[in-house]
């Protein structure tokens, strides 16, 4: 006996509601347009140490997906905007994409969602007519792989598709996109998926020409005379974030769709901006994200949908310093590219939780780094960089193994640990990389290691010696033994004499 269509639709609706009725989560977006991107394994270690349970990738990078294997972290992968046309036109392309980027990693990697494109309607409008086809082709490929109940499919939308989001009760989607949005919502309803929304109160505030107070955008309590109330429903909105989410619910309702959960796939606040971006400050970014986390983790929905929590992904994990555009574009991350925290942030929302930080990050020489470049980097670190290189002198705990990679790793790390809070990076002309693995060995404890009480980590800083012929201080003389072997005895003798002064 076939079940009636209404029963199937009701069952899918129940599944979608149940999927979002558990405790709300805070996830993070991981962009990759940055200098010296940490290794996938280091990123996963960092995420696990902070108990981050959900991440969104903008593509389906194989190295990242392998790194997430055998973790409990839920991963959202992305079909890039460049891939949508082919996937929408050819079901075989969608099947190949799912087989290569999803089925190949499940169950080891916990992939639970696919974001098809990003803000397609407003960034690549010529692709809009084929978006629904791309969604359906990806879903059919998941059905063929028996993954359709585990992996949900949707497409992140910008707030720009709702021209007048306030008051929320009168918000509608732009009429020019009604056909495409209707197809999207019908797909979400039929498959029990959710509406992905990129909601940025930062832009809502900065483009409103002073209509809304800054405190409203930052989740701060407003005085009674400044409270924001929808004149039609008389619902009070304590934050612009809630109003934006409710605008999406009301816009869906205007097209006769209800109870499709909204998941915020991007939101955040930049920590720095240009001269015309006064609201982009560290203080505002810290306030916004701290209050956002508390808001999301209280497990309630917006005023019109109080029983549907707002699962949210913060934009983003790292400052993407290679991005073009305004200064703010490069400063949305909660971490600098070198792995240090832009500001203290507890991703669990609790006051007793450890703030996101990189205290376990070390800087070491890359295994395939060119020796000549390592020599230059070591010279600079022990000289101009003022790294404490005493522990890699002959007879000291980190002298052996006596090779340039080992000595460069120690010097790089000492510099990095002391200077990262001031913006120092782990790059050294591309010869260095960060790692969460403590490189200490035997009696050689690297700076920043828990065991750094016996070697270089706690050596008192060397007084700057006389300037050497190589430039910098006398510490730099030890490097010449790699580059110019005939100077090694003289250099080492000079260093030993200086250390005895």
CA distance 117 to 52: 24
Q: Choose, from 74, 266, 316, 329, the residue flagged as catalytic.
A: 266
| Catalytic residue status for 320 | no
Of 46, 133, 134, nearest to 359 (Cα)? 46
Give the Å distances, CA to CA, from 418 to 182, 337, 423, 434. 55, 16, 10, 14
CA distance 80 to 87: 10
> The tokens of 320 are what?
């993407």
3-state helix, strand, coil in the chain (%, to 5): 40, 10, 45
Q: Helices 178-191 and 128-144 sit at what angle, rounded to 10 degrees?
A: 10
Helix (H) or strand (E) segment spanning residue 264: strand 262-267
Contact 313, 27 (CB under 8 A): yes
- Interior/surface letters 287-317, b for 16+ CB within 10 angstroms, e for the rest: bbbbbbbebbbeebbbbbbeebbbbbbbbbb
For every residue of 411-471, which 3-state class applies, written as one string? HHHHHHHHHHHHCCCCCCCCCEEEECCCCCECCECCCCCCCCCCCHHHCCCCCCCCCCCCC
157-158 and 195-198 strand pairing: parallel
Contact 343, 282 (CB under 8 A): yes
| Catalytic residue status for 74 | no
Of 370, 390, 409, 386, nearest to 455 (Cα)? 390
CA distance 172 to 492: 75
Helix (H) or strand (E) segment spanning residue 377: helix 371-382
Cα-Cα-Cα-Cα dihedral sign, residues 412, 67, 117, 248: negative
Measured distance between the N- and C-terminal CA atoms of the chain, rounded to whole angstroms: 94
CA distance 473 to 337: 29
Contact 157, 197 (CB under 8 A): yes
DSSP string, 128-142: HHHHHHHHHHHHHHH
Q: Choose, from 83, 119, 320, 329, the residue flagged as catalytic.
A: 119
List, by residue number, the catalytic residues: 119, 266
């Amino acid at each position: 006996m076939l079940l009636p269509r209404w029963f199937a639709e009701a069952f899918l609706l129940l599944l979608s509601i149940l999927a979002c009725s558990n405790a709300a989560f805070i996830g993070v977006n991981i962009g990759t347009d940055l200098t010296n991107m940490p290794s996938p394994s280091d990123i996963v270690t960092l995420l696990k140490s902070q108990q981050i349970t959900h991440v969104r990738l903008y593509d389906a990078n194989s190295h990242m997906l392998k790194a997430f294997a055998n973790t409990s972290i839920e991963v959202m992968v992305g079909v890039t905007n460049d891939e949508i046309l082919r996937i929408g036109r050819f079901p075989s392309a969608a099947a190949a994409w799912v087989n290569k980027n999803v089925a190949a990693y499940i169950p080891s990697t916990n992939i639970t969602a696919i974001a098809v494109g990003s803000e397609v309607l407003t960034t690549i409008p010529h692709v809009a007519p084929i978006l629904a086809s791309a969604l359906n082709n990806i879903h059919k490929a998941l059905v063929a792989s028996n993954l359709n109940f585990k992996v949900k499919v949707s497409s992140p939308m910008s707030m720009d598709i709702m021209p007048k989001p306030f008051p929320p009760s009168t918000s509608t989607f732009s009429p020019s996109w009604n056909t495409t949005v209707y197809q999207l919502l019908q797909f979400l309803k039929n498959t029990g998926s959710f509406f992905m929304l990129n909601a940025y109160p930062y832009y809502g505030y900065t483009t409103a020409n002073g209509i809304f107070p800054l405190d409203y955008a930052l989740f701060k309590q407003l005085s009674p005379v400044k409270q924001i109330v929808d004149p039609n429903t008389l619902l009070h909105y304590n934050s612009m974030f809630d109003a934006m989410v409710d605008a999406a619910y009301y816009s869906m309702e205007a097209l006769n769709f209800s109870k499709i959960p909204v998941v915020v796939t991007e939101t955040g606040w930049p920590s720095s901006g240009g001269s015309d971006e006064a609201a982009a400050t560290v203080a505002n970014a810290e306030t916004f994200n701290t209050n956002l986390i508390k808001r999301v983790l209280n497990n309630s929905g917006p005023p019109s949908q109080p029983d549907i929590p707002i699962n949210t992904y913060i934009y983003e994990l790292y400052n993407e310093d290679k991005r073009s555009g305004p200064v703010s574009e490069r400063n949305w991350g909660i971490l600098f590219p070198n792995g240090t925290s832009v500001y203290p942030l507890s991703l669990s929302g609790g006051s007793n939780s450890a703030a996101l930080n990189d205290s376990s990050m070390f800087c070491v020489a890359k295994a395939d780094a060119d020796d000549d470049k390592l020599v230059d980097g070591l010279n600079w670190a022990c000289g101009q960089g003022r790294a404490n290189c005493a522990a890699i002198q002959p007879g000291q705990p980190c002298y052996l193994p006596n090779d340039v990679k080992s000595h460069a790793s120690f010097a790089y790390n000492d510099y990095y640990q002391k200077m990262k809070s001031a913006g120092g990076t782990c790059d050294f002309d591309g010869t260095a990389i960060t790692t969460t693995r403590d490189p200490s060995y035997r009696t050689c404890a690297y700076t920043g290691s828990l065991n750094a009480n016996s070697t270089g980590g706690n050596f008192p800083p060397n007084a700057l010696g006389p300037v050497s012929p190589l430039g910098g201080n006398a510490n730099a003389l030890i490097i010449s033994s790699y580059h110019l072997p005939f100077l090694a005895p003289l250099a080492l003798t000079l260093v030993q004499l200086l250390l005895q002064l």
